[in-house]
Structure 1
Amino acid sequence: MDRVRFHRIDALERRAASRDGEARRLLDARLAELMRAYAGDLKRAARKNTAADDAGGSVVGGLIDYLAQQTAARDSAFAMGEAAVFPQLAALEDFRAIWSQIRSESQLRQSLRQAPGDAGPLNSGRLVHRSLTLMRELSPGYLQQFLAYVDALTWIERMSGDGVMELDDALRTGSVAKRGRDKPRKRRGE
């Protein structure tokens, strides 16, 4: 019923077994007192549970019945080919929005930190920096969507670099063999 209290009684019993004399007598007396109180609480809890069962079922029994009904309804909807509809938590949606905002701000700070200082007007890094800055000023919502899209593309690129989505070995060896058979190109001036 009460694990912490039970473990305390158990530890006190082990300690009493290792003592002798007056210390053992005091520990035994305290142990007997704790065990009587624990036994009394167990009896009261048992009476309370039987009274609840007699009154129409326990709270836990009602919860088990409810979960069984929900599971049966979900399984029947799935068997019929319908997607089970689960309620969305409002707190979860708020959390997603906050996380998206924090993530986009973090990515934006990181990209702005990497802006080259001495780059020309057509430098790709500088152009990306400029476009992100303008996007942040004009449409922060679109910036969050854009950064989520870029994040997904980066994730896919990392997956392909780790060997998850690599090409077949046969295709790779075939393309390498073709290059090896090609005649070397002549450079200008040779």
Structure 2
Amino acid sequence: MNTLLDRAEQLDCPKYSKPKFEKAVREIRTLTVLPPEEFEPQIQKLCWEAGVVLVLVPSIKKAHVSGVARWLNPHKALIELSLYGKTNDRFWFNFFHEAAHILLHDKENIFLDEWDSGESLKSEQESEADQWSREFLIPSEYEGKLAELKSKIDVIDFAERIGIHSAIVVGRLQHDHLIDPSWMNGLKVGLHFQGIE
């Protein structure tokens, strides 16, 4: 992992641009419907062009770390995502959560995020990044519709209407206790990136 971090620090990329990164994350949201071999090079490129290095790392046994956001220098940010959980709903929520730290929070902090660390233990900035990611993936104007989704067909239609992968909708329904955690997991996709276990 240190080798990846060393490479990220040495990687030459354009200076960070908040407007470019905001545009990039909007475009990246549309990529959630693609398989990993298609979206991975595109998100790497879109982040890089905005001055954000995206590094994907294997999950560490018995560690529930899902991601890290930090600044490598005043002009270059880093998002490091672990494949902990390895399903696309978690991956995308984590990506946008880390993107929120880069967009919203100061450059001095390092944000190390654990999956399901417990709402009561979260800092204000972590809660803000969670809320931003939730809202960015499923805008609040659609929140009332979530409780109406009772079947896989409903979920797929709703996801298509708002332009995201159906797994993200399932993850949200499970997180909000609108469906049982064992329901509709067949809509989730296990992620495998080349060279990362």
Q: Shorter-chain TM-score: what band?
A: under 0.3
Asked which structure has the greater CA Rg, the reply is 1
If the length of structure 1 is used for normalisation, what is the TM-score? Answer: 0.18
* Higher strand residue share: 2
TM-score (norm 2): 0.18
Structure number with the bigger relative contact order (C-alpha 8 A, sep ≥ 6) is 2
Which protein is richer in helix relative to its size? 1
